[in-house]
Amino acid sequence: MSEAGGSSFELVSDPAGLNRALFEVTHGLYILTAVRDGRVNGQCLDAMMQVTNAPPRVAIGVGKRSLTHEMIMATGEFGVNVLDREDPNCPAVIRRFGFQSGRDVDKFADLPYETTDAGIPLLPQAKAFYECRVLPEFTLDLGTHTLFIAAVERAGVRGSGEPLTYNEYRKTMQKRR
């Protein structure tokens, strides 16, 4: 491979190297929420993108082993909360939703939240939220994950704050080590 701009790429093909390279993909870090039979749950989500604007649709990739995945499969509904990087409680929210299983703990215990008409939990400190309905005809089984395509039924945005990106979060966590 020839050099680009005076420097060369480090070529990788091993799983760890590929993962390091994929960390260069920029995207947000969100809290995915769902409800089933009155039980609420949520998890961190970094696999989300807008796929169409008219009608507004998003795609999310969710691991099949998660409780949130089960809830979405059963109800066809979910919420996405955009984390605000200016919120000082953001690291605690990420720990709550990203470092423990909803099968073992109630992630919403002692946490104030609002709900949509469908009962989907929304984090009041979020920069924005999206209330979504899965389009089953576009759902794709990816083996370990499911790719859900969903219609954005309702959304809300706050005037202040900035969305947290996954790359910003990773850099912050590396500095703390």
The rounded average pLDDT for each run of 10 residues, N- to C-terminus, in the chain (177 residues) is 63 87 81 97 94 95 97 98 91 91 94 93 94 97 98 91 82 62
Torsion, Cα 46 152 101 117, to 10 degrees, reads 150
Question: 109-112 contacts: CB < 8 A, separation 24 or more?
Answer: none
What is the model's pLDDT at position 164? Answer: 86
Residues 26-176, CATH architecture: Roll (2.30)
What is the model's pLDDT at position 17? Answer: 87
Q: Rounded to a whole number, what is the distance in angstroms from the first to the last CA of the chain?
A: 35
Task: State how far the Cα of 128 lies from the Cα of 110, in Å rounded to an integer.
Answer: 22
* Measured CA angle at 59 (ends 136, 121), to 5 deg: 85
| Helix (H) or strand (E) run with residue 74 in it | helix 67-75
> What's the pTM?
0.86
Per-domain residue ranges for the chain?
A: 26-176
Q: Which of 132, 129, 116 is nearest to 51 (CA)?
A: 132
